[in-house]
Chains A and B, each alone.
Chain A
Amino acid sequence: MSSLPKTIDAVRAALAAKQMSARELAQAALINAEATDTNICAFLTFSPERALAAADRVDASLARGEKLGALAGVPVAIKDVIVTKGLRTTCGSKILEHYVPPYDATAVEKLEAAGAVIIGKTNCDEFAMGSSTENSGFFPTRNPRDLSRVPGGSSGGSAAAVAAGMCVAALGTDTGGSIRQPASFCGTVGMMGTYGRVSRYGLAAFASSLDHIGPFTNNVKDCATVMGVISGRDPMDSTSAAVDVPDYVTLLGKNLHGIKIGVPREYFAEGLDAEVGAAVERGIDTLRKLGAEIREIHLAHTRYAVATYYLIATAEASSNLARYDGVRYTSRGPQAGTLAEMYRSTRGAGFGQEVKRRIMLGTYALSAGYYDAYYLKAQKVRTLIARDFEEAFRHVDLIVTPVSPFPAFKLGEKAADPLEMYLSDIYTITASLAGIPGLSVPCGETQARLSIGMQMLAKHFDEGRLLAAAHAFETASTAERRQ
């Protein structure tokens, strides 16, 4: 199925040239995805009816000679923590195994309004809690580059689906790196906008003050296109920002002259895999060659970030997951004689180990007598981490770091040690805590041909500059690799 278009431009060209109809493309994409998925296990649910209906709308629009939406006919996948009307949404959890939402997330509505064709819902760590997609309540997803390895997480299904060519774009969610890290592991572009840039309405909350929806794509231009479609103020989300959304695609194609890029030395210290470090350093060289001025910066509170993140995220999660109680839509546990039994049985049987661990941690952090020492202290450190970035961005326009300390690891390799798994989020969670936008762009491979991603961060609502720089980098590094 190598004839399937891999980018939004390729889809647009194929439809314009009448090489295929949107319906034919959707059918081919579905057949390809279902076949490929027997090895990858990226999808939890396919949605052929919904996909074909959307494709038919595009074809009808084409037949009437109407102007097509930015994503007309583009096959996309949606991480299963984002609700879809009439389409099962499990959050990767047994507790929602049979849950069919009655409404669409705002980001999903916007994708479909732009002509996107949703082919299915992708696997993820249960309620987005994890860094490998091994915490899915159903099955692990495999890295398309090496089936013995994880695709990263929590949005591993979406990353793998795009990387394996099963769809052109996918939505993931990022709370502490859950888009950027799997993008890095799978060799795709993955982006999280400024907190508030993309509406969270319809994203089953893990940690409300940290959750983002964002895209996976095969190149930066497609990332810019999807970000443009899903961004913007949503009256249904009070935390969405009323900040104008520029046309990101038209901002691409600029060189990097005059751009100052900061490199925090704290991010290149102990624990960073040598091949990953070297690839990112080469990436920084490429940026320098493109005209950027590279400056060393310090993000002094980085070492507190993991502890801070896991207090705030688990505290919010303990509250956000209270609604899965067996009363209404949750799959009710087998023993439900009394109310307390129903709660215990439902949540005991429905939630996996990692989710239970985080609910316990978060409940503890919010308990009377501990709140000040844990949650409140963490909020104060969060402010310090945000100030680190504010200070840094007074001197530089962008910040470049590794995404993950190591490339994709083997299934089961780190599953036994939750703390080691938490520590691997170190490079991504600082931006989550600060609420700034960030993305992962491929910057090389290991000798074992595992992909390596470079993280680029920008100040609040500076997604345009972030995408432009990533695009310039992508263009140059692709050319370098061809040489």
Chain B
Amino acid sequence: MTALLEKYEPVIGLEVHVQLLTQSKAFCGCSTRFGAPPNSQTCPVCLGLPGALPVLNRRAVELGVKASLALNCEVRGVSGFARKNYFYPDLPKGYQISQYDQPLAEHGWIDIREGGAPKRIGITRLHLEDDAGKSVHDGFGDSAKRSYVDLNRSGTPLAEIVTEPDMRGSNEAHEFLTRLKEILLYLEVSDCNMEEGSLRCDANVSVRLRGAEKLGTKAEVKNLNSFRFLKQALDYEIDRQIAVLESGGTIHQETRLWNTAEQRTIGMRSKEQAHDYRYFPEPDLAPLVVGDAWREEIRATIPELPEARRARFIASYGMTEYNAGVLTSSKAIAHYFEEAAKSSGDARAAANWVMGDVLGQLNTAGKTIEASPVSAPALGELLKLQSSGAISGKIAKHVFLKMFETGRGAREIVDSESLAQISDTAALEKIVAEVIAASPKQVEQYKGGKTTVIGFLVGQVMKATRGQANPAAVNELLRKALE
């Protein structure tokens, strides 16, 4: 296949559906909470009852505009809703309210980095729409005969983000989706939870001979509901299309479904069988006006985005690109690191601790950084104790574990367990004298020129102080006493 990939170039565009993080649905006041009992979060509007009318959720528009701006799109001053008509049992109105020829935003891009060089991926459009309900085909006693419909999801606000056919392989598509998800999470416009369906991805895939300008015939691949499936399905589909062309066949425009169990894409419907959605302007909703003032008000709420934050971390903390990547992989981690760096006054130590012990312990405990038992200021306090010499590095690790287990503060643990280093010369001199008196043989050896034996003596002092003596001070005092 590698040889064939030198001959053929894959061309990929993505259509990403993102559930917007609103309290209520796109066109009614029902809750969008996931996991409620079936059909409990419904009303005449999202049930499509006779006479019910949609009223647009302002918050959904704000989140859509926020995402559009962060994706460098131009937001239309006036956009419009349209009806997309088709019959399906989980679509109670018989149409989806979407945006068609007047989307919320257009002409955006994001930069990705795949294999070193940065690459710009065009965003064709971002538009708002409402989600359908969910058909449940199994899990019931009579599932062989019946399907059930849960309309809790019906009317949930979605943003659909459509890219240009700018990706040239599954790695780029994977990288694009990773960056997109990261941006959306930073913006807090979606939780991007793929298992719960709040981030869904379809791909348009074609292949062409390298150097050819004309695009090949595409297939739309659906059901790519994890990053892994996206990559597997794209690789499969690219190979399939190349194989068809190599054997002298032609690609037909069609919709294909990724089947995880069989690890292949399966034809679902051809172009001829494609729905005619009979789009027309939604007469129940007025045109959506996003004026300059509102748009700029929303723009002001956009936080520093991951790409900018990585650049800043590298510049102002002098960290490597890799470390900057880890520490900005989520907004919460970046925030945690910066707070710990600030309160400890030692960014380098904070970076090492966050990437090491903090993320390690969280990972072991299966917790997110938001739920960390050790807060960023608490970590900062610990780091200060260490840098001031009050506790040793070894003790610090011990204290961190205690903090993580109990949620108590570093100072509290150090005090209650009497873990502070003893740097008090008078106290240490007494212990040093005792150790020298009790170790005549080693003293003899030292004086005979075997100075490495001092390590044993230091160990004795440390043992007597249960590790709390400042090793540097002990060394100094021993040498003085023996000479």
Contact = CB atoms under 8 A, between A and B. Distances in A.
A238 interface: yes
A366 B85 contact: yes
Contact of A102 (B49, B87, B276): B49
B273 to A, nearest CB: 13
Nearest to B48: A323
Contacts of B47: 328
Contacts, number: 99
A89 interface: yes
Nearest to A199: B53
A105 B51 CA distance: 7
A305 to B, nearest CB: 18
A147 interface: no
Interface string B74-99: 00000000010101010011110000
Nearest to B151: A328
A368 B95 CA distance: 16
Nearest to A96: B50
B50 A89 contact: yes
A383 to B, nearest CB: 13
Interface residues on A, range: 35 or more
B51 A101 contact: yes
A318 B52 CA distance: 17
B50 A238 contact: no
Contacts of A339: 89
Contact of A327 (B53, B83, B149): B149
B245 interface: no
A389 B286 CA distance: 22
Nearest to B28: A236
A322 B96 CA distance: 11
Nearest to A375: B280
Contacts of A318: 85, 278
A319 B95 contact: yes
A203 B52 CA distance: 8
A55 B348 CA distance: 79
Contact of A319 (B44, B50, B278, B285): B278
Contacts of B440: none
Interface in B282-304: 283-286
A91 B278 CA distance: 25
A238 B56 contact: yes
Nearest to B93: A323
4 tightest CB-CB pairs across the interface, nearest first? A322-B94, A204-B50, A366-B278, A208-B283
Interface of B: 44, 47-56, 83, 85, 87, 89, 92-95, 149, 276, 278-280, 283-286
Interface of A: 82-83, 89, 91, 96, 99, 101-103, 105, 200-205, 207-209, 235-239, 315-316, 318-319, 321-323, 325, 327-329, 339, 343, 363, 366-368, 371, 375
Given A200-B51, A316-B283, A322-B94, 4 more contacts: A91-B50, A319-B278, A363-B278, A371-B279
27 contacts: A83-B51, A89-B50, A91-B50, A96-B50, A101-B49, A201-B53, A202-B52, A204-B51, A205-B50, A207-B283, A238-B53, A238-B55, A239-B284, A239-B286, A315-B280, A318-B85, A318-B278, A319-B280, A322-B93, A322-B95, A323-B50, A323-B94, A325-B89, A367-B276, A367-B278, A368-B278, A371-B280
